[in-house]
Amino acid sequence: MEEFFASLYEWFGLNPLYSTDMGDQLRGWDITCTDYIGTPWYVIIGWSMIGITIISYALQYHIINSPQFNKKHHWWIMALVIVLLNFLVAFLIPFNSIQSGDFCNLLYLSVSDSIGFGASNAVWSFILFILLTSFKYPRYLGINCRHTTFWKP
Amino acid sequence: MSRLYIFAIGGTGSRVLKSLTMLLASGVKPNSDNNFEIVPIIIDPHKSNEDLKRTERLLGNYQTISNEAGLDSGFFSTKITTLDRLSTSQNRLSGSFTFNLLDVGGKKFSEYIEFNQLDEPNKALADILFSGKSINKRHEEVNLLDVEMDIGFVGNPNIGSIVLNQVKDSQEFKDFASNFNEDDRVFIISSIFGGTGAAGFPTILKNIRDAMNNLNIDGKGFLQDAKIGAITVLPYFNIEKDNDSPIQKSDFIAKTKAALYYYKDNVTGNNSINSLYYIADNYSGKPYKNDPGDGGQKNDAHFVEMASALAIIDFLETPDRDLETSGGKAQKPIYKEFGIRKDASDIKFSDLEDYTERKIALRLSQLVLFRKYLVEHLSSAIEKEAWSNDSPEINKKFVDDTFYRTNLTEFLSSFSDWINEMAENKRGFSPFNLESSIEALIEGRTIKSSWFTSKVDFPAINNKLSKQGKGKTYSSASQKLIQLFFNTTEEILTSKFGLKN
């Protein structure tokens, strides 16, 4: 699973989004600089991205499920919320590590790496939200938003 | 499917038929195992009568909507057809609901009976039978024999009975007779205090019961013993005083008495009729314009006309065993009157008796809510709400098509006029607040709401529509619109407004 998420986030190439050192940190390069035995951030943040996106989707399509929140501009509002949340999650976790110095001192990590990873997470959550809402199912299991996508109604 | 042939005679006939059309459109149906197809035949010499024209147009639109939406869509689910559609003969008539009275337009009564060709004794007899004065369409006083009949019989049933006797030899009557089956029924609508209806009712009835003696028609046996119901509408509205008019309120009662006296021997007295409904209202309300017919005769809809239409529904609910006829005589003739719970000048649903309220309150409210949604909200819902995007789509193209733009819109506009006219008339029938919010739509009905229930507004209706439409298949967008709204409005009005089916 770690390789899956790693290849996902590194799909765009480690540069220009974030550095190879940030990639190692997210793979779980431990604080003693010996092996990948630290916290597997790729997996944790990957699952949180999937969770946040699915919960947000469910909120709009199945829980709020309202004729007053089923137009395409509502889809874009929800997409923006998802993108922001996922950006924040992926930005704040490495950013906090950097601020507290809680990483292998051989790695060179900067705030721009955190921003880059946040952006990568945000892009993937956006893609996932598009995929979730572009196919007939599970959208059709809802009532009021069963035709709601990023291009209609 | 059995048929109900409705002879709607005169202005009142057209107006009651209009009310029946509105009730059927809203989904009011008889509680009967039999489904009836309605075949209206309007008999009125006054072709420019606005009430007749409005009713004809309404029936045409109803037919189109019903054909497009199908008979299982709730609204418009009783089939209405023209007599010509039943006929396969060479002499097929044009697709009209109106009986074509011959030699009436622009002709004086004396010309119709060929007065000048009569010998002296017959001329003298005609002079006696048709003495008196009337007015012509130019408001000039004329002898009765010189009345021009294209504005009707102007309150003279003695003329009407002669002219309407041509019905038995007409192509329409032949078509009617040849298509009439054992299970079919006949209903005759007429008023008793005018000219056309008072004369037409016994004439039509007699021609049906005497069918065995008519050499021109088929299906005589079935006709002679047909199950026949009728409503005879007694005076129910006030009319402006106009000394120059042949129509006088003071004559209404005298004419009614005279006609009832005639019916005593020739309708009720000889058991010609299986089920006769009487209706009247002595409430002295807003007077109608005194128009003998030359002004187009366009009267506002009245509650009594709707109640009269309910007589037709009641007649269809009467079981066959109570309508047995033998040798042209009803075995157990039934006579009925209509009443309301409270003598209110503005009738609401709660003023009606339970049966009447149950029969019409829910269905009329459904059509009112349907119209309100279409008029006030459809344009902002199409191509946006899930129910509208489900296949077949209710989209902009659909609302630009003739079905929606002409037939349905025109029908619902007439429906709203009908509701408004009944509300403004006196005695009035005003159970709806058409311009208010949905929650205040029905007088005296408050929304059952609580902390956990949502209010009833257009988004709530959209939600219900999308729920109702989910996973359903419809043969066409027209069928979808009608059926979906029938089911949804029924659900909202029963669950939120507490209306009963």
pLDDT tens for A2-46 read 789 888 888 876 666 888 899 999 999 998 999 999 999 999 999
* B262, B158: one domain: yes
- Among A62, A73, A74, A146, most B C-beta atoms within 10 A, so best to mutate, is A146
Distance in Å, alpha carbon of B395 to nearest chain A alpha carbon: 12
- Before B392, cis peptide (omega within 30)? yes
* B227, B259: one domain: yes
The fraction of chain B above a pLDDT of 70, given in percent, is 89
Residue B362, pLDDT above cutoff 90: yes
* B55, B184: one domain: yes
Let me know how long chain B is.
501
* B408, B439: one domain: yes
Q: Identify all chain A residues contacting B383, using CB atoms and an 8 Å cutoff.
A: 153
Rounded to whole angstroms, the Cα distance separating B24 from B402 reads: 22
Task: State the pLDDT confidence band at B246, using cuts at 50, 70 and 90.
Answer: low
Task: State the pLDDT confidence band at A114, using cuts at 50, 70 and 90.
Answer: very high
Please indicate if any CB of chain A lies within 8 Å of the CB of B470: yes
Alpha-carbon dihedral B207, B208, B214, B220, rounded to 10 degrees: 180
Contact between B290 and B241 (Cβ < 8 Å): yes
Q: What would the mean pLDDT of B445-450 be, rounded to a whole number?
A: 74
Mean pLDDT of chain B: 87
| Enclosing H/E stretch for A70 | none
Q: How many CB atoms lie within 10 A of CB B215?
A: 7
| Enclosing H/E stretch for B7 | strand B2-9
Instruction: Tell me if B384 and A145 make a contact (CB, 8 A cut-off).
Output: no
The fraction of chain B above a pLDDT of 90, given in percent, is 54
Domain limits for position B356: 350-495
Please indicate if any CB of chain A lies within 8 Å of the CB of B476: no
Instruction: Tell me if B467 and A147 make a contact (CB, 8 A cut-off).
Output: no
Last residue of a domain, one of B283, B308, B339: B339
* B360, B465: one domain: yes
Instruction: Tell me if A143 and B463 make a contact (CB, 8 A cut-off).
Output: yes
What is residue B382's predicted lDDT score, i.e. its pLDDT? 94
Q: What would the mean pLDDT of B334-354 be, rounded to a whole number?
A: 94
Please indicate if any CB of chain A lies within 8 Å of the CB of B385: yes
Task: State the pLDDT confidence band at B290, using cuts at 50, 70 and 90.
Answer: low
ipTM of the assembly?
Answer: 0.86
Task: State the pLDDT confidence band at B157, using cuts at 50, 70 and 90.
Answer: confident
Residue B349, pLDDT above cutoff 90: yes
Task: State the pLDDT confidence band at B10, using cuts at 50, 70 and 90.
Answer: confident
In a domain, B345, yes or no: no
Please indicate if any CB of chain A lies within 8 Å of the CB of B390: yes
Residue B52, pLDDT above cutoff 70: yes
Our count of domains for chain B comes to 3
What is residue B96's predicted lDDT score, i.e. its pLDDT? 66
Rounded to whole angstroms, the Cα distance separating B287 from B292 reads: 14
What is residue B94's predicted lDDT score, i.e. its pLDDT? 54
Residue B280, pLDDT above cutoff 70: yes
What is residue B293's predicted lDDT score, i.e. its pLDDT? 58
* B131, B195: one domain: no
What DSSP string describes B378-424? HHHHTTTSHHHHSSSP--HHHHHSHIIIIIIHHHHHHHHHHHHHHHH
pTM: 0.90
In a domain, B344, yes or no: no
Contact between B246 and B153 (Cβ < 8 Å): no
Residue B111, pLDDT above cutoff 90: no
* B191, B78: one domain: yes
pLDDT in tens, A65-86: 999 999 999 999 999 999 999 9
DSSP assigned state of B148: B
In a domain, A152, yes or no: no
* B313, B177: one domain: yes
In a domain, B500, yes or no: no
Out of A67, A147, A152, the one facing B459 most closely (by C-beta) is A67
Please indicate if any CB of chain A lies within 8 Å of the CB of B396: no
Please indicate if any CB of chain A lies within 8 Å of the CB of B175: no
Please indicate if any CB of chain B lies within 8 Å of the CB of A36: no
Q: Identify all chain A residues contacting B389, using CB atoms and an 8 Å cutoff.
A: 147, 152-153
* B167, B140: one domain: no
CA distances from B227 to A95, B187, B201, B224 (A): 91, 9, 15, 9
Residue A16 three-state SS:
helix
* B137, B196: one domain: no
Chain A / chain B CB contacts < 8 angstroms = 36
Residue B446, pLDDT above cutoff 80: no
Our count of domains for chain A comes to 1
Among chain B residues, CA nearest to A151: B384
Find the angle CA(B433)-CA(B435)-CA(B439) to the nearest 5 degrees: 60
Domain limits for position A70: 2-139
Q: Poorest-confidence range of A84-88, B44-48, B425-429, B495-499?
A: B44-48
HSE, CB side, 13 Å, CA atoms: give it for residue B61. Answer: 25
Instruction: Tell me if B467 and A70 make a contact (CB, 8 A cut-off).
Output: no
Q: What would the mean pLDDT of B262-270 be, rounded to a whole number?
A: 88
Task: State the pLDDT confidence band at B466, using cuts at 50, 70 and 90.
Answer: very high
Task: State the pLDDT confidence band at B199, using cuts at 50, 70 and 90.
Answer: confident
| Enclosing H/E stretch for B144 | none
Last residue of a domain, one of B339, B371, B405: B339
* B84, B142: one domain: no
Beta bridge partners, A145, equal none
Residues 6+ apart with CB under 8 A from B316: B4, B30, B32, B34, B36, B185
Task: State the pLDDT confidence band at B90, using cuts at 50, 70 and 90.
Answer: low
A44-58, B75-89, B219-233 — most confident range: A44-58
* B125, B173: one domain: no
Q: Identify all chain B residues contacting A66, using CB atoms and an 8 Å cutoff.
A: 459, 463
What is residue B240's predicted lDDT score, i.e. its pLDDT? 74
Q: What would the mean pLDDT of B439-463 be, rounded to a whole number?
A: 86
In a domain, B161, yes or no: yes
What is residue B89's predicted lDDT score, i.e. its pLDDT? 56
- Among A143, A145, A149, A152, most B C-beta atoms within 10 A, so best to mutate, is A143
- Among B389, B457, B484, most A C-beta atoms within 10 A, so best to mutate, is B389
Find the angle CA(B136)-CA(B142)-CA(B148) to the nearest 5 degrees: 40
Residue B444, pLDDT above cutoff 70: yes
Residue A104, pLDDT above cutoff 80: yes
Alpha-carbon dihedral B10, B14, B19, B20, rounded to 10 degrees: 100
Q: What would the mean pLDDT of B180-197 be, rounded to a whole number?
A: 89
**CATH classification at residue B253:** 3.40.50.1440
The fraction of chain A above a pLDDT of 70, given in percent, is 97
In a domain, A147, yes or no: no
Q: Poorest-confidence range of B84-93, B323-332, B404-413?
A: B84-93
Let me know how long chain A is.
153
In a domain, A31, yes or no: yes
Q: Identify all chain A residues contacting B466, using CB atoms and an 8 Å cutoff.
A: 67, 143-144, 146
Distance in Å, alpha carbon of A72 to nearest chain B alpha carbon: 9
What is residue B116's predicted lDDT score, i.e. its pLDDT? 85
Rounded to whole angstroms, the Cα distance separating A65 from A70 reads: 8
Place of tokens 């705030």: A111
Instruction: Tell me if A70 and B459 make a contact (CB, 8 A cut-off).
Output: no
Task: State the pLDDT confidence band at B214, using cuts at 50, 70 and 90.
Answer: confident
What is residue B244's predicted lDDT score, i.e. its pLDDT? 67
Instruction: Tell me if B386 and A68 make a contact (CB, 8 A cut-off).
Output: no
Residues 6+ apart with CB under 8 A from A112: A18
Last residue of a domain, one of B304, B339, B374: B339
